[in-house]
A and B are shown apart, each in its own frame.
Chain A
Amino acid sequence: MICLRDALVATPDGMVQGDVLVGPERIERLGGGRAETDLELGGAWVGPGLVDLHAHLRQPGFEWKEDIASGSRAGAAGGYTALVAMPNTDPAVDAGHRARFVADLARQVGLLEVTAAGAITLGRHGQELSHLDELWSAGVRLFTDDGDTVADAGLLRHAMEYLAERGGVVAEHAEDAGLARGGHLHEGSASSRLGIRGIPALAEEVVIARDLALVKLTGVRYHVQHVSTAGSVGLVVEARCQGHQVTSEVTPHHLTFDHTHTKDLDPAFKMYPPLRPPADVEALKKALAEGLIDAVATDHAPHAAYECEVPFEEAPRGVIGLETAAAAVNSALDLDPVTFFTRMSVAPAAIAGMGNQGRWIEEGAPSNLMAFDPEAVWVPQRFLSKSENSPFRGVKLRGQVRATIFSGRMTYLAGA
C-alpha cells in the first residue's frame, strides 16, 4: 500500500483535495489509511499515469540508442505508466511474435505497460501488407509505418478496409516523400537563409488530405501522428465535424519551439516533422487546449551522442522526450489539471485501447497513477534514457514529476 497525502486528485468528478490510498492492483479509496509508504505531496496533482502514443524504444535492433528497459526507466521518470512502442525496429514489428516480444520484454522489466504498434506494410517497405491478422491477435490496436508515410494509396486503402472491420486504428506519419525530398528543416525563411532544403507544411497536409478521403471511403479509425501545422489541424477538425473517427497527437517540442530555434543548426533541434513557424506553434497550442488535438505524444526518438556529433544535415532525425514531456506541456500551455490529464493520459489511453490506463482516480480504478507538482521549476541536464538528444536540456521548465506508480508499485520517486 502507498498513501499519497495532501494531493489535488483528478477524480471522475473533477479535482478533489485529499489523500489517495493505493493498493497493489486497485486504488483502495480516496482518503487516507495505513500504508507501508507515505508520500506527502503538499498540494501536487495526482492523476492517472501518463500514456504515450508514440515512443521509439529501439529494441530490437538499435539497442545502443535505447532498449525497453532504459526506455521504461525514462518513461517512469516522466510520469508514464504506458507507452505505445513504434514498430520501426530491426526487424520491424510486422508479425505477431514481434509484437509479443516487445510487450513480453516490457512485462519482465515491469516499470510500465508497453504495447507495440504494428507496421502496416511488411518490413515497413510500403510494398505489401504486414501480418495484420497476427498483429491483431497479439493485441496490437494501433498500426503505423511511422518514420514513413504509406505512399501507396491502394495499399493503405486495403489496410484501412481490413482494420475498419476489426476496429483498429490506422496512424499515419504524414509526409509526402516527394515534397519532403532532401529536406531537413521547415521550408521557410530559416531554411532559405541557411541554404538547407526545406520540408513544406504541404508535405504533411497533402498526405492527411489523401488519407481522410480514404477514411471517408473505409470508415476506419484514423490517427494523425505528431501533427505540426495549422493546416493539418484544420483538415482533422473538418473530418471530425463530418462524423469521422479521426484523432491526432502533438509533441511537446512542437508546442515549445519554432523553426527559428534551428538557426544555430544544433542537431538537438532536428525533428520530423520539422519545427514550424511561430503561427503554427500557437495554432497547435490552441488546438490542444481546446481538444481539437486529442493527445500529447512524445515521439521519444533516442540517438546516441556520437551519432549527433555531425553537421545538422547529416544528423539523425528525432529527439528524446519521455522525461520532459509533462513539464514541457505544463510550461508551454498552463493547462488546468483536468485538461492536462485528459490530453496526457485519458485520451491517449482511449486511442490506444489500453483499458487499464487513463482512468480517473477513484476507488477500484487500476493502480496506475502519477503525482505532478505544476509549480516546481527545474532544468533538465541528465537523462535516464540511454540517449541525451534533447532540445530541453538546459531549458528552464515548470512542473516536475514527483512520483509514478505502476500496478501499485512506485516506479519513480523524485529525489530518490
Chain B
Amino acid sequence: MKHLLSIDDLDRSGIEELLDLADHFTEVLGRDIPKVPALRGATVATLFFEASTRTRLSFEKAAKALSADVLNFSPATSSLSKGESLKDTVLTVQAMGTDLMVVRHAAAGAAHRVASWVDCGVVNGGDGAHQHPTQALLDALTLRRHFGKLDGLAVAIVGDIRNSRVARSTLAAFVALGATVTLVAPPTLLPVDMSGWPVNSTTDFDEVLEGLDVVYMLRIQLERGSGPVLPSLPEYVDRFGLSRHRFARLPREAVVMHPGPMNRGIEIDPEVADCNRSLITAQVSAGVATRMAVLFRLLAGKRQP
C-alpha cells in the first residue's frame, strides 16, 4: 500500500489490520516515554489547504511519536497566496525530501490528483465532501474499543450527509466491519442518489432512536453550503438535533459520537456532548494511534535505518 486515499481502498481485513496496529500504538502512547524510533529519518509533510485542528495536530503528533520529521504547510503564509499552483506546491515540498504527504483540500479528488503527480506516498486528510479515510478508521477504532466489535451494531449518522466526507467514509468502514447504518437528515441534506449504498435512510430521527447502539452526529457545515438549504436553523435543531429529550429515549447502553468541531446547541446539546456516554474525546485520542498506524503501514520498511 503506497497511498491511503479512500476508505474503499481497504477491505474488512485491511481495516482490521490497521486497527490492530493502532491498538499496539495506543499501548505505546501510554508509556512513560510515548515515542518509538520506527520512522526515524522519514519526513512527513502536512499540507492542509483547508482549515483543521484535530486532523492536522494528530497527524503531527503521530509522526513525532514515530520519530519522523514533520514539515508543516499552511496556505495563508505560503507562496500559494502568491498564486503558486497546487501542483507546483506539492512538487516543491516533494523536492525537499518528503516521504509522505498528508493532504487536505476543499475540492473532491484533490489527494488523488496529488498522488498522480508525486512519487512519495499520499494520505487523504479530507477532500471536499468526498473522503476522509483516517476519520473512518479512528471512528471504527473508537467503537471497537468500546463494544469489542462492530458486528450487529445499529448506527445512525445524523445531519448534513450530502456535504459530509466523514459520512461517506465512516459509513463505509462501519458497514465493512458488520454494523448496520441508517442515515438521518432532512431531504435537502441527503445525497440525491444513494442507489447502491449499503445503508437505510430516513428523514425522521425520532422513529429510529429506540433501536440504536450508536448515534453519530454530524456538524452543520455552514461554510460548505448547508445553510441555504435549511429554511430555519431552529427547525433543524428541533427535528434533527440530539437534545436531552432524544438522548433520554436512546437505549441505556447507546453511545454518542461526533467528528468535531461541534456546533454546541445546534446539532448536539452541550450536556449530551459532555456526558459519560459520549465518545467524542475518545475519538480524538483514537485519532493519534490510528494515524500512527497509517503512517507506519505506509512508511515502515521504506526508510529503515
- Pair A312/B108 contact, Cβ less than 8 Å: yes
List the B side residues contacting A265 at CB < 8 Å.
108-109, 112-113
Number of contacts between A and B (CB, 8 Å)?
74
Flag whether A264 is at the interface (Cβ < 8 A): yes
Q: Which of B88-144 contact A (CB under 8 A)?
A: 105, 107-110, 112-113, 117, 127-131
A313/B109 in contact, CB under 8 A: yes
B225 and A187 within 8 A (CB) = no
Q: Give a binary string over B151-185; 1 marks a CB under 8 Å from any A CB, 0 the rest.
A: 00000000000111100100000000000000000
Instruction: For residue B99, give the distance in angstroms from its CB to the closest CB of chain A.
Output: 23
A183-201 CB mask vs B (1 if < 8 Å, else 0) is: 0000111011111101010
Given A189-B196, A264-B112, A306-B85, also A196-B105 (CB < 8 A): no
B57: Cβ under 8 A from any A Cβ: no
- When distances are taken between beta carbons in the complex, the residues of chain B under 8 Å from A188 are 192-193
- Quick check: is A182 within 8 A (CB to CB) of the other chain? yes
Known: A193-B168, A195-B129, A198-B192. A309 touches B87 (CB 8 A): yes
B1 on the A face (CB < 8 A): no
A192 & B128 in contact (Cβ 8 Å cutoff): no
Which residues between 193 and 231 of chain A lie within 8 Å of chain B, taking CB atoms?
A: 193-196, 198, 200
Q: Is A311 an interface residue (CB 8 A)?
A: yes
Q: Is the CB of B165 within 8 A of A195?
A: yes
A350 adjacent to chain B (CB < 8 Å): no
Size class of the contact patch on chain B: 20 to 34
* Known A-B contacts A189-B196, A192-B192, A265-B113; A311 and B108 likewise in contact (beta carbons under 8 Å): yes
Bound form: Cα–Cα A407–B191 in Å: 55
Q: Given the complex, which residues of B lie within 8 Å of A238, measured CB to CB?
A: none
A residues in contact with B196, CB < 8 Å: 189
Q: Is A314 an interface residue, CB under 8 A from the partner?
A: yes
B225's nearest neighbour on chain A, judged by CB, is: A182
Complex alpha-carbon distance, A193 and B168, angstroms: 7
| A126-137 interface bits toward B, Cβ cutoff 8 Å, 1 = contact, 0 = none | 000000000000
With contacts A182-B225, A309-B87 known, is A196 near B192, CB below 8 A? Answer: no
**B residues adjacent to A (C-beta < 8 A):** 85-87, 105, 107-110, 112-113, 117, 127-131, 162-165, 168, 191-197, 225
Closest 5 CB pairs of A and B: A195-B129, A265-B109, A311-B107, A192-B191, A311-B110
Q: A195-B108, A311-B109 are in contact. List 18 more A-B contacts (CB 8 A).
A: A182-B225, A187-B192, A189-B196, A191-B193, A192-B191, A193-B168, A193-B191, A194-B109, A195-B129, A198-B192, A309-B87, A309-B113, A310-B86, A311-B107, A311-B127, A312-B107, A312-B109, A313-B109
